[in-house]
Each structure stands twice: as C-alpha cells, then as structure tokens.
Structure 1
Amino acid sequence: MEIKAILIDDDDFTRLLLSSTLKDLGYTVVADAATAADAIRAATEHVPDLAIVDLDLGEGPTGIDVAHGLRRVLPEIALVMLSSYEEPRLIKAKQLELPEGTVYVVKKVVGTPEVLEKAISAALGHEGFASELIEIDNKTKRMRRLSDSQVEVMRLVASGFTNAAIAKRQFLTEASVGKAVARLIKQLNIPANEEQNQRVLIAQAYYESIGPSTSRRG
C-alpha cells in the first residue's frame, strides 16, 4: 500500500536528505514545506498519511504548532517529530504538548534509515517504538527531573538575564529567583568552583542539551 509523506523543515538541505531517505525506504514524498502555512496548504492539497516535522522552524510557529495544525486538517495523519532538543521544554514555545501518538525522535539518534523507519512504523501504528532508540544519558535524566519553572529559569540564565531581570519577566521577587537559581545549580550538580562562574555552567548545560551551536535548530 502506498504511504504518502510530507516533510516540514526550514532547511533545504535537510529536506533533500530526508526526501531521498524516505524514497529509498519506499515512501512516496508528495510535498515538502519550509513554513507552517506551506505545510498546512500542502497537507490540504495532497492528504498525506505521514508528516515528518522539524521541531524548530525558525521565527514564527514551531513544529509543535504545525503538528497540531496538521491534526486539525487531517485527524488520522501519523506524525514524527525530529529535534535536536533532548528535552522538548527547552524550546521557547507557547504550545509544548505534542499531539497524541506523535513519535518524538532526537536527531542525534537518527543515524541510519532503519531508526527512522522504526519511528515511522510506530507513528503509523504498525509496531512499538523501542525506547532505547532515544538515548537518555545522565545529563538528560537530570534535565527531565526539572520542573517547568526551573527549565524557564535555566533558559533565561543561559540567555544572559540577571536575577533582577528574570524576576521582572516572571513576576517574582529577586530573592525568590536567587533561591530558584540555587536549587537549579544543586539539581544540575554544578560544583562550587572559584575558577568557574556557576551561571556560565548553567548556560553550558542548557546549550549542551539543545545541541551543537552550529546546528541549534529543532
């Protein structure tokens, strides 16, 4: 049975590679898109069975927004979300909850077509998706133990905001932000070191979690 796929990624080269891989795996790529609007338009026109969506589409709607939009247009569409973010809460987005049944895959583990094929099969409901395909190292486990508010504080610290600036943005007192940062340092196991700034180490942990600076994309 023919399975029609649509690709949504704002990087031309990535779309080209994914398209080639999907065709080699036997899927029919009916369209690709770089923006949310183009994705919805293409889905309405071609009615695909499957969408491969990049989480970070640059300025504007995220891949999560696109996934929800696709489900509104095509309630049965299978969704695979590709991301460099091991912890999806690290991307700043209003909508963070993935549509039901979406298979979330960290890009660094999609090293072979076989892994992508298993993710697609899981999204289509053909088989379970092995949890070991998404590598969870100790750093990622620590990230996933953080509360939503701690993730937000971490992102703001990594962006260079002072405690006073964070307090203003989050409608908190500066003292409460100081305590939140102290708890964050403890949960991330950041050591007290006179030679290193702990806020810089928080930023380092943040950027390590979202991927290399040369490809800090969804």
Structure 2
Amino acid sequence: MIRVLLVDDQALLRMGFRLVLEAEDDLQVVGEAGDGRAALDQVAALAPDVVLMDVRMPGTNGIEATQRVVDAHPGTRVLILTTFDLDEYAFAALRAGASGFLLKDAHPSDLVAAIRSVASGDAVVSPRVTRRMLEMFSDRLPAGAPEPDGLDPRLRALTPRELEVLGHVAEGLSNAEIAQRLFLSEATVKTHVGAILAKCAVRDRVQAVVLAYETGLAGRTR
C-alpha cells in the first residue's frame, strides 16, 4: 500500500485528489495539509511514502517545504503538482529534491501512474515541462556532439553510452523507451542508469535530469 499525503491550500482540490486516489486499491490517503508548515508536521507524524505537493501556498511554499521534507525524511518522495508550468517553478522544485513534477490538468490516470512511479523510486517529469526546460536552456547547449575534453567535469567519468542514456533520461523517457530507441534490453538501460547515478553522485533519476540540464548535455541526443 502506497501512503499519500495531500498538500494544497484549496480544500476542493484536495477532495478531488482524494476521490481519485482512494479509488485505487494500492493507494491510501493518510492525511491532508493546507500549507507547507502543516505539511512538514504531517510528514513527521505520518511518514507517508509520497507527498503530493502544491507549489504556491501561504506561508511555507511548496518548494521550500519540498527541500525540508527531502532533507529530514529521505524515505519520503515528493511529487509536485501545480497549475503553473513556468520554468522557474519546475526547475526550482526539481533542484529542491522533488522526484516528480506534473501539472494539475494531468489526466487522473497519469497522476495515479506518477505516484506509483515516484513511490517505486523512479522520476516523473511532465513532457511539457521537459520541453520548456529544454527551450530555456537551448542557448547554453553547444551545437553538435560533445567532445570528451569539452565535457563538464561532473560528466567526465561517464562512458559515451552512459552519456547517451543520460541525454535520453533528460528527455523524460522511461527505461523501456530508451531501450527501444537505443536497441538495448531494458535491463541494460537500468544498469546504465545505475552507473550514471553512482558516477555522478546524484541520489536519484530526477537529480540526474537536473544535472543534464545544468551541464548542457540535455538536448544533444535529440
């Protein structure tokens, strides 16, 4: 059973999320909070597996609350859900340690799938947000394939194949989709992703996406 905490300052939205999630046999809503401060208290008391976190709330906002949850409760994953698809919110949430970012207009089935993915340790980034992040960083991305000596120092330990896999991870592709694109087995892609996380000293897949954007790797595989 995946235990979920709902955090949003609009009670009607929390009610809607609860109705969607509690229709699933493997999801349980264990609590609700209307602001970031209350969310921190609820996480400490309830130890949810996933926090569904709004961004704009009075007092402690969702980005600050995400950072504090991740720092104090490493076993709890945060999935940011917001009506705002502005780049700064997406990128700030990911850098704060969120394991996923979806917009509130996502289909209920996509929300349920995202919670399951985040709970299992995977990352979820809306394709729309991924595209906007790529657009935002496009002027920083060098043209052509990267030369080994021109890599950011944080990427130099990666093999050419691992760099390719990381680029596709940054596009928001799943392991299965990467495997299909590169004509590899899904198990091989999973092994590459594990090596990327270890070599780059990032704690999860979504932080690898952030690294790909920060170093200019994102977009080179497109």
| CA 65–6 in structure 1, closer or farther in 2 if over 3 Å, else same | same
Relative to the length of structure 2, the TM-score reads 0.53
- 2-structure distance, mates of 1:68, 1:139: 23
Task: Provide the residue aligned with 2:38 in structure 1.
Answer: 38
Task: Provide the residue aligned with 2:111 in structure 1.
Answer: 116
| CA 33–146 in structure 1, closer or farther in 2 if over 3 Å, else same | farther
The percent identity for this pair of structures is 17
Checking the alignment, whether the CA contact within 8 Å between 1:82 and 1:107 is kept in structure 2 is: yes
Shift of 1:141: 5.6
- 2-structure distance, mates of 1:139, 1:128: 17
**Does residue 6 of structure 1 match 2:5?**
yes
- 1-structure distance, mates of 2:31, 2:104: 21
Q: Which residue identity is paired with 1:33?
A: A
Q: What residue ranges of structure 1 are gaps of 5+ in the alignment?
A: 148-218
Task: Provide the residue aligned with 1:75 in structure 2.
Answer: 74
Shift of 1:85: 2.3
| Alignment match of 1:135 (pick from 110, 119, 128) | 128
- 2-structure distance, mates of 1:72, 1:90: 19
Checking the alignment, whether the CA contact within 8 Å between 1:56 and 1:62 is kept in structure 2 is: yes
Matches within 5 A, 1:176-215: none
Runs of 4+ in 1 over 4 A off after TM superposition: 126-129, 136-147
Task: Provide the residue aligned with 1:102 in structure 2.
Answer: 99
Checking the alignment, whether the CA contact within 8 Å between 2:80 and 2:93 is kept in structure 1 is: no
| CA 128–10 in structure 1, closer or farther in 2 if over 3 Å, else same | closer
- 2-structure distance, mates of 1:97, 1:137: 11
Checking the alignment, whether the CA contact within 8 Å between 1:86 and 1:140 is kept in structure 2 is: no
- 2-structure distance, mates of 1:125, 1:116: 14
Task: Count the aligned residue pairs.
Answer: 139
| CA 145–128 in structure 1, closer or farther in 2 if over 3 Å, else same | same
Summarize deviations over 1:133-180 as a string: whole Å, max 9, x none: 533698776455478xxxxxxxxxxxxxxxxxxxxxxxxxxxxxxxxx
| CA 139–76 in structure 1, closer or farther in 2 if over 3 Å, else same | closer
Shift of 1:125: 2.6
Q: Which residue identity is paired with 2:14?
A: R
Secondary structure (helix, strand or coil) at the match of 2:128 reads: coil
| CA 103–139 in structure 1, closer or farther in 2 if over 3 Å, else same | closer
Q: What residue ranges of structure 2 are gaps of 5+ in the alignment?
A: 141-222
Task: Provide the residue aligned with 1:53 in structure 2.
Answer: 53
| CA 96–90 in structure 1, closer or farther in 2 if over 3 Å, else same | closer
Summarize deviations over 1:47-89 as a string: whole Å, max 9, x none: 11110001111x3322111111222331111211012222341
Secondary structure (helix, strand or coil) at the match of 1:4 reads: strand
- 2-structure distance, mates of 1:120, 1:103: 9
Checking the alignment, whether the CA contact within 8 Å between 2:51 and 2:79 is kept in structure 1 is: yes
- 2-structure distance, mates of 1:142, 1:32: 35
Task: Provide the residue aligned with 2:86 in structure 1.
Answer: 87
Checking the alignment, whether the CA contact within 8 Å between 1:106 and 1:134 is kept in structure 2 is: no
Relative to the length of structure 1, the TM-score reads 0.54
| CA 96–117 in structure 1, closer or farther in 2 if over 3 Å, else same | closer
- 2-structure distance, mates of 1:140, 1:72: 25
